[in-house]
Structure 1
Amino acid sequence: MDQIDKNIVKILQSNAKISMKDLAEAVHLSSPSVTERVRKLEEQQVIEGYHAHVSLKKMNRPISALILFESKDCKALANFCHNHPDVLECYRVAGEISYIVKIATHSVESLEKFIDESMQFGTPSTNIVLSSYEKRIIDPFEE
């Protein structure tokens, strides 16, 4: 990736709906050149997709939690998480715990229900999210 590609990726991360014309102007290239560069970045899977970022509160999911599991059955826990509508992310990790699950749900009662249903797969430790920060623009490491 050259500096122009890095700029394209940075701009698309901040505004994935930008037109190719406006993107071309921002990086000082022609629209066909920028379109080709974006296509190559997609083919190389530098750009994996385009997403809408939605408000969990507006989606009636104001309760977020990170649940750490000492799992007895990793595959069963993973399957449970992949199929549960409240699960946003699920990470298998090395160390004392085996899974970290991020959920967003509509009530403390539904959080409790998730915990109760998941206990058959291991021991959960629940951490309710009070506030958060998510980096929206990721810069590549310089080589």
Structure 2
Amino acid sequence: MRGLDDIDRKIIAAIQGNGKITANELSDRVGLSPSPCARRVRLLEDSGVIKGYTAVIDQKKVGLPISAFASIKLERQREEDLDRFALAVARWPEVVDCYLMTGQRDYLMRIVVRDLEAYERFIKDKLTRLDGVASIETSFALDQVKRSEVLPLE
């Protein structure tokens, strides 16, 4: 993929702000006619810069008010252990974010559930049954101060 130019950045900014923007609105906003603009969007999609489109859902309004942040330490950090952990986490819908970390812990994940009992079931039925997990440390979010999928493109 070639580097991003100013037009690409304008396209990305517009789509990040409104994933439902029409092709005509997008082309007007970035200063291209619809065909070249659509071609640029397709190139950004094909290259993986634009990974997909999604709606932002209010987790409380769909009955999932609890966000738990779990720090996970593995017994070993060998590649096969990291891969096994990543494959398991990918199958768990409660885990909405998971990062391989530097520092004292190996992973930080955000788990979204309807109540504390659901979180306890997740821990007991899934996370603690995974081979190689040495420890789990959890913090619960009291409130969400900021959430954004908009990247600060310069």
So what's the TM-score if we normalise by structure 2?
A: 0.81
Q: Which runs of 4+ in 1 moved over 3 A?
A: 73-80
| Deviation per residue, 1:33-70 (Å, 9 max, x gap) | 21111112112222111111112112221111100012
Pairwise CA distance, 1:5: 1.4
Corresponding letter in the other structure for 1:56: Q
Change in 2 beyond 3 A, CA 1:76/1:44: closer
Provide the C-alpha distance between the structure 1 equivalents of 2:49 and 2:20, rounded to a whole number of angstroms.
Answer: 17
Q: Are the counterparts in 2 of residues 14 and 136 from structure 1 also a CA contact under 8 Å?
A: no
Match of 1:125 among 137, 149, 154: 137
Aligned to 2:151: 138
1:96 aligns with 2:104: yes
Where in structure 1 are there 5+ consecutive unaligned residues?
A: none
Pairwise CA distance, 1:115: 2.5
Provide the C-alpha distance between the structure 1 equivalents of 2:88 and 2:5, rounded to a whole number of angstroms.
Answer: 42
Where in structure 2 are there 5+ consecutive unaligned residues?
A: 76-80
Match of 1:36 among 25, 36, 39: 39
1:110 aligns with 2:133: no
CA RMSD of aligned residues (A): 1.9
So what's the TM-score if we normalise by structure 1?
A: 0.86
Report the 3-state secondary structure (helix = DSSP H, G, I; strand = E; otherwise coil) of the residue aligned with 1:53. coil
Q: Are the counterparts in 2 of residues 70 and 98 from structure 1 also a CA contact under 8 Å?
A: yes
Corresponding letter in the other structure for 1:25: D
Percent sequence identity over aligned pairs: 30
| Deviation per residue, 1:61-97 (Å, 9 max, x gap) | 1111100012226455434422223111222223211
Report the 3-state secondary structure (helix = DSSP H, G, I; strand = E; otherwise coil) of the residue aligned with 1:9. helix
Report the 3-state secondary structure (helix = DSSP H, G, I; strand = E; otherwise coil) of the residue aligned with 1:64. strand
